[in-house]
Amino acid sequence: MERARQVYQMCLRLIPHKLFTFAEIWLLYAKFEIRQKDLGAARKSLGQSLGMCPKHKLFRGYIDIEIKLREFDRCRKLYEKWAEFDPENCKMWIQFATLETMLNDDARARGIYELAIAQPRLDMPEYLWKSYIDYEVEQEEWDRVRSLYERLLERTHHVKVWISYAKCEHSMPLEDNVSRSRAVYVKANRLLRTCQEKEQRLMLLEAWKDFEDEFGDDVSEEKVKQLMPKKVTRRRQQKPKNGLKSSKRRERVEEAPLEQEKEGYEENAPFDPNLDRDDSDVEIGSTSSDSSSDSSSDNREKLSKKNKLRTRKSSSDDSVKDTKKDKRKPRKDSSSDSSSSSDSDEESDLQRRKLELSKKRQDEKKNDERREVSSSDSEKEKTRRRTNSGSSSDSGKDKQHIKRKKASRDDDKSDSSSRKRSHSGSSSEYKKKASRRKSSSSSSSDSEDN
């Protein structure tokens, strides 16, 4: 035992308590001394620890030991030391008050709660106020409960405090508890109207509605429903660009003559399917009907493109003529009134804006037409590729068949030529032999004659 005591003391000497400490070692050493029935040494070591390096765990452990020993006066002194060390700790104040309630000393408990509430700073004030109110509810001191809620609402107007206050009023065993809780809801609604956070008022109204559904009548329910917020749908008005209000109407007025010109041109223009036909459009292996249909569709597209280009040129020429007319207009003299000059400036600004708008619309139309033309061209190319792929496959088969026929014909010709050559060679040898025989016979006859 002496050896264990020396080990504890050596360990406590080695720890630099000014920098850090271990509360568990102090408590283990104190419990060791209590097992050895040396209570003075245990209290001495714990007092030394609180003097050198006070910690919450040391205070809590020392108080638990004194409670087990039933030394409540020492516990009160330790709580006082703890309150001096850390007055912002709400848990310490609550534990101190619960100790006094265990000892049935209500005056001390209320005094401790009042001291805790009076502190300028607290780490968890809502936890402390709740425990104080719950203590008064257990004691059934309803007037004190109301006064505590009123004091708390002077410091804060949080919606949860109002709801708990109304529920507490309803839970009181009194005759007019429903009317009292309704009065709390009305007061809270009046004060939360000026609150910036609208969600708190919505929470209050929802809790009030639930209360009226359970304990209220039809009139009170309708009143609460009228106070509930309503969903409102608003439409934003889009402001026109460049300050012009009737931009859509002007677009319609300007687009109408262009469409008329297009229609007139298309009606007067004759249609020739063989116009602008190229040999490159005719595909190898395709039938005459396919090529004629493709050429007719291409001609129609070309005619539509030409019509569009002519309409663009006419619209651009009109805009240029309008600008030239505006430029040719004579300017007014400088001696004119200020009102006439301002009107002319406004008119010129409006004309400029009109011209800018017309140019923008023309550009947009051109871009749209180009996109349409490109899309149509891409679709036609895709269809042509598909037809080419099908026709090429068929033409490839035909070509292979023709090649095979040609190869068979060439083989037949080569065989016949070889046969002819062989026959011609044999006939020439036969002639030579015959000539030799004739020459030999003629020589023999000559020799006989001689």
What are the pLDDT digits (tens) for 2-18? 888 888 888 888 888 77
The token pair that represents 71 in the structure block:
């030394």
Model confidence at 258: pLDDT above 90 = no
Q: How confident is the model at residue 416 (pLDDT cuts 50, 70, 90)?
A: low
**Higher model confidence: residue 159 or residue 341?**
159
133 with 145: CB under 8 angstroms? yes
Question: What is the four-CA torsion angle of 420, 423, 428, 434, rounded to 10 degrees?
Answer: -150
N-terminal to C-terminal alpha carbon distance within the chain: 172
3-state secondary structure the chain: CHHHHHHHHHHHHHCCCCCCCCHHHHHHHHHHHHHCCCHHHHHHHHHHHHHHCCCHHHHHHHHHHHHHCCCHHHHHHHHHHHHHHCCCCHHHHHHHHHHHHHCCCHHHHHHHHHHHHCCCCCCCHHHHHHHHHHHHHHCCCHHHHHHHHHHHHHHCCCHHHHHHHHHHHHHCCCCCHHHHHHHHHHHHHHHHCCCCCHHHHHHHHHHHHHHHHHHCCHHHHHHHHHHCCCCCCCCCCCCCHHHCCCHHHHHHHHHHHHHHHHHHHHHHCCCCCCCCCCHHHCCCCCCHHHHHHHHHHHHHHHHHHHHHHHHHHHHHHHHHHHHHHHHHCCCCCCCCCHHHHHHHHHHHHHHHHHHHHHHHHHHHHHHHHHHHHHHHHHHHHHHHHHHHHHHHHHHHHHHHHHHHHHHHHHHHHHHHHHHHHHHHHHHHHHHHHHHHHHHHHHHHHHHHHC
Instruction: Give, in degrees to the nearest 5, the angle at Cα 343 between 340 and 348.
Output: 125
Lowest-pLDDT range of 67-71, 181-185, 346-350: 346-350
**Higher model confidence: residue 357 or residue 301?**
357
Q: How confident is the model at residue 73 (pLDDT cuts 50, 70, 90)?
A: very high
CA distances from 325 to 251, 333, 339, 387, 423 (A): 22, 19, 24, 54, 99
335 with 302: CB under 8 angstroms? no
To the question of pTM greater than 0.85 for the whole model, the response is no
Lowest-pLDDT range of 92-96, 291-295, 436-440: 291-295
Cα–chain-centroid distance for residue 274? 57
Q: What is the mean pLDDT of residues 319-329?
A: 51
137-154 tens-digit pLDDT: 999 899 999 999 999 999
Domain ranges of the chain: 1-65, 87-156, 160-229
391 with 283: CB under 8 angstroms? yes
**Higher model confidence: residue 436 or residue 105?**
105
Q: How confident is the model at residue 98 (pLDDT cuts 50, 70, 90)?
A: very high
Q: What is the mean pLDDT of residues 12-26?
A: 84
What's the mean per-residue pLDDT of the chain? 75
Closest C-alpha among 15, 40, 46, 13 to residue 28: 46
CA distance 56 to 90: 12
Predicted local confidence at residue 132, as pLDDT: 94
Sign of the alpha-carbon dihedral angle for 212, 216, 221, 227: negative
157 with 195: CB under 8 angstroms? yes
Q: What is the mean pLDDT of residues 75-89?
A: 92
